[in-house]
Structure formats: C-alpha cells, structure tokens
Amino acid sequence: MEKLSDPQFLRGAQFVCSAHVEREWPQDQGSEVAFAGRSNVGKSSAINAITGHTRLARTSKTPGRTQQIVFFEVDSVRRLVDLPGYGYAKVPAHVQRHWEKLVQRYLEGRTSLRGLILPIDIRRGPGDLDLVLFKWCELNKLPIHVLFTKCDKLSRGAASTALIQFNREIDSECVTTQLFSAHRKVGVEAAINKVLDLLRN
C-alpha cells in the first residue's frame, strides 16, 4: 500500500530534534506539516492523538518551550513540526519577540512546509495571533487546517454551530476546519487524513 494512504503511517513519527536556532533544523527537503497554536489549546494532545503516541509531543506549561521548534520524522523525507505555542500570559517582551522572529523565519523560509494545522479551543475561538496566521497563509497560499479542539466540552449542537459560524466568518480558500477532541477521539481520523494529504504534496 502506498505509504500516504495508510492511516497508520503517522505512527512511525519519531523525535528528531528540539531546535533553538535555525542551524539546528533538519535539512529543508521533502515535505513538512507544522502545528501552530496558542498555548493550552490542546496542540500537544492533538499531535499525540494523530500520531497514536502518548507522549511524543510533550505538554508543558513552561514559557521556555516558547523558544523551541520540535521536529519529528515520519520517514526520511516527511516530517511533523511542533511550533512553539504563543500567548503565554507571563512571557517577557523579549521572549515574545524571539517567538515572533523564530516562527516568522520558519514560515517564510521553509520550502518543505506544505501546510499548517492550527488547533483552536472551540470555547474561545481564534485569538489575535491566530488571525495573523490566517492572513499570512492566505497571502502566501499556504493551506491551514483548523482543529476546533476540546469539542467534548460543548454539546454536539453547540459545537457544530460554533464551527458553522467560524466557517462563515473566515470564508477563505486556504482554510479548512473540523471538530476535534483528543480526549474523546473525535475527528482524529479526519485530522490524520488531512495531514497525510498535505504531506503528499
């Protein structure tokens, strides 16, 4: 079976490195899908659910993690990337600036980047930096797939209403959306298929 048609393919993801600076990034070849998002939205839980691991992406509340980009290899030419979370209440301004520069350099310079997965807490909706990412992706024609996380916290009706409303407001060709819950395993298969689709390009 072709690897990218196999829903189990992402289970092969393995930690490569946690990079503070660009020279530590793996070679920019093949294809890469990056996970961005506000801290605490459930990004690490989503990466773990999608790869079928329990602790591949480490959930961490320490602002120090805002300075690292973590690379996972699925095979020799395909990677998943955990971008540092944003929006920590307590980070000093210089750390915030470092985050912006690091992520900007990654987004603008990485030719193997095929798309972003953006978890957004369904109860909170998008924040300012999420909106910046939407604009940037639109401008650069980069696909962005939104996981509305923690949808188990809302009734099914309320969750789909939130999704419909968001889709109406964003209305962009670059953006696709779905409901997601790592805890209840809602939307995991759809998210896996999306990642595989992006890695295929």
At residue 66, the 3 state secondary structure works out as helix
- Residue among 9 and 88 whose Cβ is closer to ligand GDP: 88
What minimum distance in Å lies between the beta carbon of 46 and ligand GDP? 7
The yes or no reply on residue 81 touching ligand GDP (CB under 6 A) is no
Size of the site for ligand GDP (CB under 6 A): 17
Q: Among 10-18, 101-109, 140-148, 177-185, which window interacts with ligand GDP (CB under 6 A)?
A: 177-185
Sole binder of ligand GDP in the list 31, 40, 51, 66 (CB under 6 A): 40
Sketch the per residue contact string, 127 through 166, with ligand GDP: x for CB under 6 A, - otherwise.
----------------------xx-xx-------------
Q: Decide: is 39 part of the binding site for ligand GDP (CB under 6 A).
A: yes
- Identify which of residues 4 and 47 has a Cβ nearer to ligand GDP in the complex: 47
Q: What are the DSSP calls for 100-157, one per residue? A: HHHHHHHHHH-TTEEEEEEEEETTT---HHHHHHHHHHHHHT--EEEEEE-GGGS-HH
Report strand pairing: 113-121 vs 31-35: parallel
Place of tokens 């990004």: 43
**Which residue, judged by CB position, is nearest to ligand GDP in the bound state?**
59
**For residues 45 and 3, is the Cβ–Cβ distance under 8 A?**
no
41 near ligand GDP (CB under 6 A):
yes
Residue 122: closest CA among 167, 87, 66 = 167
Q: How far is CA 113 from CA 11, 79, 142, in A?
A: 20, 9, 9
> CA-to-CA distance for 52 and 152, rounded, in angstroms?
19
Contact footprint for ligand GDP (CB under 6 A) = 37, 39-45, 59, 85, 149-150, 152-153, 181-183
